[in-house]
Amino acid sequence: MAVFIGNFITHSVFMRKYYVLLFMGIALFLASCRKDPATLSLTVQPKWGSDNLQLNTTYSSTGGYMNFSSFGMYLSHIKLVKADNSEVEVDSMALINYANNAIKIDLKAVEGSYKGIKFGVGLDSAQNAISPAQVDDQSAYKPDVLYWAQGLDHLFIAMEGHSGSTSSLGNIFFYHIGTNTMYRTTEVDQPFTVAAGSSTSLTLDADISKVFSGANGVNVLTQPGTHSTDSVAIAVKVADNFTQIFTLQ
């Protein structure tokens, strides 16, 4: 075999040239495969103040102590915003089903320089109308998460847990925010660039403590729950406050 190959390689000058050409061709082909496209990701990190939000951990809010047993939300129509306010959508919908780990979303990497991002909290009316029956189990619209039966479509935000005037937490709370009128959009500014050959990773912090503090804060003890169809004012407050909790890094 070795003799055979040796024979072949040294066969003639003409063949050697041919061989070099072949190698160049292969090299070129490989090089073209290796050109890195730009990548862009968004890591959503729920926070409580400066800490990463931990489920089943007791926090102090303006209204009282609280401890989340679950937290989830939908983000939709994530767009990159340029200095001239032109926008490009890079993801239609993402489910944030929080289990103490930040959720990383891969976005379409459209090259350019941007001043910030814009997105909806919840689902737009067309998305909200998508029934889990129409999608497969792997879909983010899947039935086991953030879905209401009884014609109310999807929950946009769900927070459930225990509360109390002392840290012993004798009470409970639940905020189920949904229905089309609760859909909100928000813009978060922090300049960044998406360039060919580089990976851009953005982190979107969502400070849940801001929902329960400030002049328009929800009081977890006196306003302990809403399904959005009752205690509507509380639901509106939660939906409005969610537009104020995001920061981009």
Supply the DSSP symbol for 99: S
Q: Can residue 171 be called a binding residue for another protein (CB under 8 A)?
A: yes
Segments of 56-197 assigned E as strands: 58-60, 65-81, 87-98, 103-107, 112-121, 155-164, 171-178, 184-194
Query: With b meaning 16 or more CB within 10 Å and e meaning fewer, what string describes 154-189?
Result: bbbbbbbbbbbeeeebeebbebbbbbeebbbeebbe
- Comparing C-alpha atoms, which of 151, 186, 236, 169 is closest to residue 77? 186
For another protein, the binding residue among 56, 125, 181, 244 (CB under 8 A) is 56
Decide if residue 130 touches another protein (CB under 8 A): no
Q: Which is nearer to another protein, 55 or 236 (CB)?
A: 55
| Contact status: 112 vs another protein (CB under 8 A) | no
The reply on whether position 222 binds another protein by CB under 8 A is no
CB nearer another protein, residue 7 or residue 50: 7
Residue number, 27 or 83, with CB nearest to another protein: 27
Give the up-direction half-sphere exposure of residue 159: CA atoms within 13 A in the CB hemisphere: 27
Contact call for residue 124 and another protein (CB under 8 A): no
The CB-of-12 to another protein minimum distance in angstroms stands at: 8
Residue 70 and residue 173 in contact, taking contact as beta carbons nearer than 8 Å = no
Which residues lie near another protein (CB under 8 A)?
4, 7-8, 11, 15, 55-56, 69-70, 72, 97, 131-133, 136-137, 143-146, 148-150, 155, 158, 160-162, 169-174, 176, 224-225, 227, 230
